């Protein structure tokens, strides 16, 4: 735990717990929201080719996850951590210019 606290620059085990909860809720929620969005776009698991369906779903999960991560981080009082985390993650992907 001490390595994780040092790496993330946080002080307490409670903060680690909250951060892990936010990651869990965000991942689950973004995966759940992608299915109805695919259906809204007319891409159904039963009628579409599996590669089209899963490609679209994964493509939709990414922006949903980004928005929810900061939103849930704000709700749980960890906005600054998740805002910094998201900027670092997007800069590693070459998308940092979106936040400048």
Cα-flanking dihedrals φ and ψ of residue 10, to 5°? -120, 165
pLDDT digit string (tens) for 14-53?
999 999 999 999 999 999 999 999 999 999 989 989 999 9
pLDDT digit string (tens) for 58-100?
999 999 999 999 999 999 999 999 998 888 888 888 776 665 5
Helix pair 50-75, 79-92: axis angle to 10 deg? 140
DSSP 98: G
The total of other beta-carbon atoms located within 10 Å of residue 84's CB is: 13
């Amino acid at each position: 735990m001490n390595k994780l606290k040092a790496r993330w620059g946080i002080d307490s085990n409670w903060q680690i717990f909250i951060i892990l909860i936010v990651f869990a809720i965000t991942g689950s929620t973004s995966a759940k929201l992608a299915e109805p969005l695919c259906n809204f776009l007319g891409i159904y698991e039963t009628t579409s080719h599996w590669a089209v369906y899963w490609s679209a779903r994964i493509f939709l999960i990414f922006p949903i996850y980004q928005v929810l991560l900061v939103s849930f981080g704000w709700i749980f009082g960890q906005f600054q951590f998740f805002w910094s985390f998201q900027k670092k993650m997007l800069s590693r992907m070459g998308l940092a210019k979106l936040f400048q």
